[in-house]
Structure 1
């Protein structure tokens, strides 16, 4: 299993959109995305800060994606 990369929130949101998620709303610095099958993911957008590996793992778990899925969506 490949190691999780360090990503910015914009990169994570773009990858989730490529996976079929759509932005539902933004409240403050948190963007909520929903997939047509009902999965919901919240991604924090705190300026240019990186998303930590633990939080990225939680986002992937909520999105029901693997690390390999994420890496293929980033390319």
Structure 2
């Protein structure tokens, strides 16, 4: 799954990107429902690794199935 596709799913679930925080190729995403945040790598057209994506989803307090259905 590419960065853009993952961010669309996160946005559908109510998460948003903290535009004030950027470090190189990583973006900070916040889940306002849980107050948790995670750094998601923006690798452009390259696919995100499944372990990285699952870790970000876990850090945001989301469920993997919920993310896939979004």
What is the TM-score when the length of structure 2 is the normalising length?
A: 0.82
The unaligned stretches of length 5 or more in structure 1 are 1-6
Q: Which residue of 1 aligns with 2:12?
A: 18
Runs of 4+ with deviation above 6 angstroms? none
Distance in 1 (alpha carbons) for counterparts of 2:12 and 2:28 = 15
1:59 aligns with 2:59: no
Question: In 1, Cα distance between the equivalents of 2:2 and 2:44?
Answer: 9
Measure the CA separation in 2 of the matches of 1:17 and 1:27.
20
Question: Mapping of 1:1-75 within 5 angstroms?
Answer: 7-24=1-18, 25-36=21-32, 37-73=34-70
TM-score (norm 1): 0.77
Matched residue pairs, number? 67
Q: What's the Cα RMSD here? A: 1.3
The answer to whether the Cα contact below 8 Å between 1:8 and 1:51 also exists between their aligned partners in 2 is yes
